Structure 1
Amino acid sequence: MKTVTTPPIHKRRWAGLAVLSASLLLVVMDMTILNVALPAISGELRPDAIQLLWMIDAYSLVLAGLLVTVSALGDRWGRKKLLLTGFSLFGLASVLVLWADSPGDVIAVRALLGVGGAMIMPSTLSMIRILFADPRERATALGIWSAMAAVGGALGPILGGFLVEHFSWHAAFLVNVPVMAVAILAGLWLLPESRNPNPGRWDALGTVLSIVGMVGVVYAIKHFAKDGLTDPTALVTMAVGAAALTWFVVRSLRRPDPLLEVRLFRSGPFTSGVLAALTTSIAMAAMMLLIAQWMQLVMGYTPLETGLRLLPTALGALVLSPLAPALAARIGARTVLAGGLVVAGLGFLVLFAAPLVYGWVALALLLIGAGMGSLAIASAVIMSGAPIEKAGSAAAIEETSYEVGGVLGVAVLGSVAAAIYRTALPYHGADAEAARESIGGALDVAAKLGLPDLAEQAKTAFSDSLAVTGAAGAALMLLAALVTWKLTPRTLDIAGGHH
C-alpha cells in the first residue's frame, strides 16, 4: 500500500513545503505582532497588569498545553486533516477580533489562536519528515522552514507596526485571514495525508496529565516572575504541574504506544537538538520583548520604525538558515549546532558590554539572528533522531521546547529585567507603585504629574535592565553550547543519518 502513496508526494513536495512554510510564517508573525500592538491595545482597552499578562500569555499557555495531545491526534486522525483544521481555527479567531472590545475578549481570541497554532506548528514539522524521504533534501527543507520562522519573527513587528499605525490594532490580527484561506486551498491540493498505521489505544489519562502538567508549569513560571518565588498560588500550581508531568513521563515510558515518545531522549543528538531549540527560544523571546519596548519607550521610535530596526535579526537568520545544512556537511553538525549558540551568546554579550545605541544593538541583533539561523540544524538533528512513525512525537517535543522556551524567556529573563528596573528606579513620590511596575507606567506617571526627571530615570533604569538581561542571556547560551557539544556525537551526519 505504501508504494502507491509515495510518487505523488515526491512530485509536489517543494510546493507542499511552500504551503507549510507560509503557514508557519504566519503563526510566528502572530507571536511577534502582539509585541508591537500591545501599547495600542492597552491604550484603548485599559487592561490591568494581570489582564495584560494574560493577553500575552493566553496564546502560549493554550499552545503549550495542547501540543502533545494535538500531535498524537494528528498521528492517528491524519496530519493533513489536523493541519487544515488548524488553519480554519486560526482564520476564524482572527476574524473574531473585530468584535473584541474588552481585555477579556482579546484574551479569548488569543486562546483560540493558540488552539489553531497548536494544530499548525507540529503538523508542519512532521509533514516535512514525511514529504522528504531523502535526508539531504530534508535537511535543506528544514533549513528553509527555519528561515521562514525567523522571517516571521522579523516581519511581525514591521507589518504589525504598519497596520497599527495606519488602521487599528484589530488589523494586526485580520492579516491572517486571507493567508489562511489560501493555505487551506493549497493544502487540500498539495499535501499528502499521512498517519501512524498502528497507533495503539488512545491514552485518555495521559492526555489530561500532559495538559494539566504543561499549563501548570508554564502558569507557575509566569507567576513566579510577577509575584516572586514565595507566591503560594504559583507554588501550588508548580507542584501540581510538575507532579502531572512526572506521572505523564513515567506512564509514557511504560506504555508500548505512548501519547508522546519520551524514549526519543535516549538519543544524544535528539536531546542536544531539543536543548538548543529550548535555550535559543528562551533568550530570543525575552530579548525581542525587551528590545521592542526599549526602541519604542526609551528611544521613542514608532511601532513601524521599531519593526524595521529589528530587521538585522531576520537578516542574520535568513542568510544562515539555508546555509546551515551545507555548513554541517563540511564542518560537522556538532560544530554548527554548538557554534550557533556561541554566536548568539556573543550577540547578547554585545548588549551587555557595548553602549546602548542603535548601532551596537543592530550588531547584537545580527549576531543573535545568525546564531538562530544555524539552529536550522537543530530541527534536522531532532528529526534525524526519530523514526518516521514517531515524526509527530519528535515534532511535538521540538515545538514544545520552542514554546516552553518562549514562555520561560519572557517569564524568567523578563522578571530579572523587571526586578533590575524596579531596583534601579529611585522614585518614591506619587503613584510610585505604577511607576515601578513598568517603564510604560513610569512614563504615564511622568506625563500626568509633569515630571521630566522621572521619565529620564525610568529610561535609564530600563536600559540598565536590558544590559544585565543581555549578560544573563549570554551566560545561558554559552552554557547550552557546552552541553550541546558534549551530547552531540562528532560523527553525526544529518544528511545520511547516524554513524
Structure 2
Amino acid sequence: MFAGIPLGPLLGGWLLDHFAWGSVFLINVPLTAVGVVAVLFLLPLTPGSGRGRIDFTGIALSAAGLVSLTYGFVHAGEHGWADPVTYGLIGLGAALVAVFCWAQTRVAAPLTDLALFREPRFVWGAVLATVASFALMGLLFVLPQLFQAVQGADALQTGVRLLPLIGGMLVSAKVAERLVAAVGVRAVVAGGFGLLAAGLGWGSTTSPSGGYGATVGWELVIGLATGATLPPLMTMAMGALTEGRSGAGSALIQVLRQVGGTIGVAVLGTVLNSGYRDGVDVGGLPAPVADVVRGSASGAVAVAGQLHRPELAASARAAFTDGMAATLWVCAGLGVAGALLALVFLPGRTAADVQPRESEHDVVAG
C-alpha cells in the first residue's frame, strides 16, 4: 500500500503523457482483480453481528442525499450561491441525509451502526479525520492545477512534484506513532493540525512567478502535518471498538473521510473558481472565448497561446493564485479548528497504549 502512494501519481502522469486519458482507469482493472483475490484468500475473517440482510433503503437514501449535496456545492461554483437551484439541491441533500439517519434507527439491520457514535474516542477520531480529509482533498484539487496551469508542468512532472507531499506523509506517519506513546494522542494531533494550518497559510503566499522552488517547502510541511494527524486519529478510533465492531467502524470512518474529501473538493473548488473568475481579465474577448477563459486557468493559458496574448496568460495565472490563496486560507481555518477540537475533546497520554492497527496504514494509502 505504501508503494502505491508515490507510484500512483507517477504512473498516472506517465500514462496521461503517452496514452489516452482513459488509461488511468484501465490500469486499475488488473490491480483490482489482484486485490479481490488477495482479500478472498489472505485476509482473516472478522466476527460480526451475523445479520446478512442488505439495507437497500439506506443505500438509496444515503447515495441520493450525498449526490444532491455534492452537486449542490458544485452548482454553486458554476452559477453562484444566489441561484435557487443551489439552495434546492443542498437543502434536498441535507433532508435526505436526515431521513437516512432517522431510518437507520427503525430497521433491524441498518446500513450504518449508529451505536458506534456512543463511544467518544471513535466519534472524535472520525470527526477530526473527516476534517483533515476535507482540507487534504481540497489541496490535492488545487496543486495539480497550480503545477500545470501556472508553472507549466506536464502530467508526469505534476506527479513528480507531488512527491514531497506524499513523502512527508509517509515519514511523519511513522514518527507520530512514537510521539503518541511519549506525549499522548491529544498533543500529537493538535500539533499536526497546527502544522497543517501553518503550511496552508504559507502556501497562500505563493505568487504566479514563484516557480516550484516556492512550492516544495509548504507542500512538504503539509505532508508532514497530515501524516502526524490522520494515522493517530484512526488508531485511536479503532482502538475504542471491540473486535466484532471493528469492521463496521473502519468502514464508517472510511465513508466519512471519503464524503468529507468529496464535499471538500466541491466546496473548496467553489472558492477557487469564484476567486479565479472574479480576477481573470476577459476584456475584449468574444463571449464564447471568454467563457473558455473563465472556465479554467489551463483553458485560459491555452487560449492565450493561440491568440498570442501573453497578458491574458499572466492575468489567468495571477487570478488562479489569488483564488488558490483564498482556498488555502479556508483550509487553514479548518486546521485551526481541528487543533482546538483536538485539545478539548481528545484524551491525553492515557490513550497512548492503544496499539497501531492496519487501519493506520490504510489512512495514508487512502
Q: How does 1:169-208 map to 2 (within 5 A)?
A: 169-199=21-51, 202-208=54-60
CA deviation after TM superposition for structure 1 residue 354, in Å = 5.5
CA deviation after TM superposition for structure 1 residue 370, in Å = 0.8
CA distance in 2, matches of 1:177, 1:257: 32
Q: How does 1:107-256 map to 2 (within 5 A)?
A: 148=2, 152-199=4-51, 202-253=54-105
Instruction: Report the residue type matching 2:248 in the other structure.
Output: S
User: Does 2:133 match 1:281?
Assistant: yes
CA distance in 2, matches of 1:476, 1:445: 35
Most deviating of 241-250 and 263-272: 263-272
CA distance in 1, matches of 2:55, 2:40: 29
Match of 1:327 among 161, 179, 202: 179
CA deviation after TM superposition for structure 1 residue 272, in Å = 1.9
Cα deviations by residue, 1:224-278 (Å, 9 ceiling, x for unpaired): 2322223333322322221221122223345564321223223322222122221
Instruction: Report the residue type matching 2:218 in the other structure.
Output: A
Residue number in structure 1 paired with 2:253:
398
Q: How does 1:10-89 map to 2 (within 5 A)?
A: 21=1
CA deviation after TM superposition for structure 1 residue 332, in Å = 0.2
Residue number in structure 2 paired with 1:429:
284
Residue number in structure 1 paired with 2:358:
none
CA distance in 1, matches of 2:58, 2:19: 45
Match of 2:342 among 469, 484, 493: 484
Q: Which has the higher contact order (CA 8 A, sep 6+)?
A: 2
User: Does 2:184 match 1:361?
Assistant: no
Normalised by the length of structure 1, the TM-score is 0.65
Rate the CA distance shift 1:207–1:164 in 2: closer, same or farther, 3 A.
closer
* Structure 2 alignment gaps of length 5 or more: 356-366
Answer yes or no: is the 8 Å Cα contact 2:301–2:316 preserved in 1.
yes
CA deviation after TM superposition for structure 1 residue 165, in Å = 1.7
CA distance in 2, matches of 1:241, 1:268: 27
SS in 2 for 1:229: coil
Answer yes or no: is the 8 Å Cα contact 1:276–1:341 preserved in 2.
no
Which of the two has greater helix per residue?
Answer: 1
CA deviation after TM superposition for structure 1 residue 411, in Å = 1.3
CA distance in 2, matches of 1:392, 1:429: 59
Instruction: Report the residue type matching 1:367 in the other structure.
Output: V
Residue number in structure 1 paired with 2:333:
475
Instruction: Report the residue type matching 2:297 in the other structure.
Output: I
Rate the CA distance shift 1:390–1:220 in 2: closer, same or farther, 3 A.
farther
CA distance in 1, matches of 2:192, 2:150: 30
Answer yes or no: is the 8 Å Cα contact 2:180–2:349 preserved in 1.
no
Match of 2:110 among 258, 262, 273: 258
Answer yes or no: is the 8 Å Cα contact 1:222–1:407 preserved in 2.
no
Residue number in structure 2 paired with 1:139:
none
Residue number in structure 2 paired with 1:270:
122
CA distance in 2, matches of 1:303, 1:160: 8
Instruction: Report the residue type matching 1:376 in the other structure.
Output: P
SS in 1 for 2:343: helix
Match of 2:161 among 301, 309, 312: 309
Match of 2:270 among 392, 412, 415: 415
CA deviation after TM superposition for structure 1 residue 201, in Å = 5.5
Rate the CA distance shift 1:258–1:308 in 2: closer, same or farther, 3 A.
same
Answer yes or no: is the 8 Å Cα contact 2:123–2:237 preserved in 1.
yes
SS in 1 for 2:215: helix
Answer yes or no: is the 8 Å Cα contact 1:264–1:385 preserved in 2.
no
* Structure 1 alignment gaps of length 5 or more: 1-20, 22-147
Q: Percent identity?
A: 34
Cα deviations by residue, 1:38-78 (Å, 9 ceiling, x for unpaired): xxxxxxxxxxxxxxxxxxxxxxxxxxxxxxxxxxxxxxxxx
SS in 1 for 2:353: coil
User: Does 2:147 match 1:295?
Assistant: yes
User: Does 2:231 match 1:373?
Assistant: no
Cα deviations by residue, 1:443-469 (Å, 9 ceiling, x for unpaired): 232233222211111111112222232
Q: CA RMSD in A?
A: 2.3
SS in 1 for 2:351: coil
CA distance in 1, matches of 2:282, 2:63: 42
User: Does 2:307 match 1:449?
Assistant: yes
CA distance in 2, matches of 1:347, 1:152: 25
CA distance in 1, matches of 2:223, 2:260: 16
CA distance in 2, matches of 1:460, 1:496: 48
